[in-house]
Amino acid sequence: MSYIIPAIPIINKWNKVNKSIYPNTNCTSIVLFNSKLDSTLGIPRITKFIRDLTYLNIRSLEVLVGILLGDAYLKLGANNNNVRIAFKQSIINFPFMWTVFTELSHFCSSIPRFDRVYLKSTGKTYGQLIL
């Protein structure tokens, strides 16, 4: 037995999407499943509905698991509801950091920022990138 799911609730949710972020278009292009998603830099915060529709493709998942096994860590937000991924690298590793950023740019709210860190053990100040 097959069931037909009514599309009206979904259409009503789409009507709540901010039109200035996603303008009306006649585009009918097909997006391949598991293709790389575009960057969302410069776009205001998206609604919960759009966020729920966004998926983590296989390539992004591989990169994410790889950096979590290496240098990245998970950090709770201020309200303890959201988890963010923090990732730090020395300025020497900029090409690696930029590669990770471009792979995960759809899920990033800003570009990597530069910071200085002082190490007491060496008595020197080093540059680092934080994503």
What mean pLDDT, rounded, does the chain reach? Answer: 75
- pLDDT per residue as tens digits for the range 20-52: 555 666 777 666 665 666 677 777 776 677 677
Q: What is residue 35's predicted lDDT score, i.e. its pLDDT?
A: 62
Q: What is residue 91's predicted lDDT score, i.e. its pLDDT?
A: 86
Determine how β-strand 124-130 pairs with β-strand 73-76.
unpaired
Residue 17 predicted with pLDDT over 70: no
Which residues have a Cβ under 8 Å from the Cβ of 43 and sit 6 or more positions away? 21
The amino acid occupying position 47 is T
Q: Count of alpha carbons within 13 Å of 61, Cβ hemisphere only?
A: 7
Residue 59 predicted with pLDDT over 70: yes
- In this predicted structure, which of 8-12, 20-24, 44-48, 96-100 has the lowest mean pLDDT? 8-12
Which residues have a Cβ under 8 Å from the Cβ of 89 and sit 6 or more positions away? 71, 96, 97, 128, 129
pLDDT mean over 8-28 = 56
Residue 65 predicted with pLDDT over 50: yes
Task: List domains and CATH numbers for the chain.
Answer: 43-130 (3.10.28.10)
